[in-house]
Chains A and B, each alone.
Chain A
């Protein structure tokens, strides 16, 4: 069995992360309470890149805080590898990138990584090599001696990611990992995550960026108002949209053909047409027809990704 087969064989893989009917209620001193998470159950298996998506305030960060043992669930349990999550973290460690990068602003970029390497248990003889490796990997060489408070948001984000990669972690938890990164480094981050995929490693990514999750994750949990709404397999072949999807087709030539074939197509100018289809096979049939009749198709882009479509359905924003 190949590494890829291993990674996608969810049923056979050992359970790594499990939320068991987890709830979290925040209570104020005045007695007010807010339910951040309710009856949340989820199993994330070894080898997966798993996404968590949800609107602001959906409970993503609370879930991650409970996964790391920073917050205690009000109800239910969070386990990693069959033991309480906090126990796992204290014994094995987790590569964690938080949404808010909180590093003492007086520390310097490189020395902060040395500190985290020591706490991560990197042997003394390997610290320099490992720290220099992540500095190079994240393009931080020219910022290595800067104080953290002097780093731009994007560079700080990269230092945060660097400290998460100091060890050969079995579990990586990345909360809004591309927040503040420019397009070049967003793409670079995706390459890094793709390279990090391994049959015995689990990567959890919480993000607002559905396009990013669509590209990186095998499955995505959509949560809203603290509840798991649905789990989406991100592969197109596994996607079953329940509502019509809109695609933008760009033609190099053959405008007459598409007007004749799809009278309802909306012209967006410069050879671009928006069409609505009910399924991927229907889209392919349309494209085959277009090409068969002499049209030259330059590109086909979904107006919304399959994940975005599911997301909108799940949080009640279907249009």
Chain B
């Protein structure tokens, strides 16, 4: 087609063959979000988790021989600690840049010129990524079960869901609020552990103040009890989930009340 020729764009409504004014189809777009998760995060989670597990557990399994699967074997405890750490890392990878990347790279410009509510878009993204993390952990848990039959994949997935909500909710908020979300999430997580360790038992105002920090100290207990026997103190679970849900909600409010652009 040469310049100056008709472009074939309908000139008025009666000629229009173009598309009517519909709202964006976010539900349909979730399949693309899921695809993005796998290409950009899921494969990395599987590789890192798989390699980490192999490097740590395989030499141990070979060394321990029959003791590996024996009742009361120390392998179960070590595996549990490793699985818990892999979940935390997976969540960190999953929520890193979940909102801030769009802002830093400017992808929001075309996305949100469409008839799409950013709150719904990012809430959906959070849960699509959660599904992705659950599937990745199901794969890794199933692999682990091959070498350690006592490992309960279902319990592991329940723990994964809890940690995704708890840690991911805070990560989501930080991704809305800052540009360096992985760094701030790691700082918050580590800082909360340190501050609780220093001030938690003092019984003064500072110990009350650190109670407001993310309940990372509850993770070990919850991991031990939830993955091992699917029992965990209800208050710990509620505190972890509640904290994450609160920050997820705060992040969504911040998207609405703040600016989409930096």
A interface with B by C-beta (< 8 Å): 3, 65, 68-72, 89-96, 98, 100, 102-104, 106, 115-116, 118-124, 126, 130, 137, 139, 160, 163-168, 170, 173, 184, 187-188, 190-192, 195-200
Contacts and interface: CB of A to CB of B under 8 A. Distances in A.
Interface of B: 1, 3-13, 16, 18-26, 28-29, 32, 39-40, 105-118, 259-261
Contacts, number: 142
A120 B11 contact: no
16 contacts: A3-B11, A65-B261, A70-B260, A71-B260, A91-B115, A93-B21, A102-B106, A116-B114, A119-B116, A122-B22, A126-B19, A163-B110, A167-B18, A188-B7, A198-B13, A199-B12
Nearest to A166: B19
B4 A187 contact: yes
Nearest to B8: A137
A133 to B, nearest CB: 8
Contacts of A139: 1
Nearest to A72: B259
Contacts of A137: 7-9
B12 A3 contact: yes
Contacts of A187: 3-4
Contacts of A166: 19
Contacts of B40: 106
A93 B114 contact: yes
Contacts of A122: 19, 22
Contacts of B13: 198, 200
Contact of B108 (A70, A116, A123): A70
A93 B39 CA distance: 29
A198 B259 CA distance: 32
A65 B112 CA distance: 11
Contacts of A100: 106, 109
B107 A104 contact: yes
Given A121-B25, A130-B19, A191-B3, A102 B9 contact: no
A42 B31 CA distance: 41
Nearest to A96: B113
A103 B24 CA distance: 18
Contacts of A72: 259
Contact of B110 (A106, A116, A195, A198): A116
B121 to A, nearest CB: 8
Contacts of A168: 10, 16, 18-21
A100 B39 CA distance: 25
A200 B12 CA distance: 8
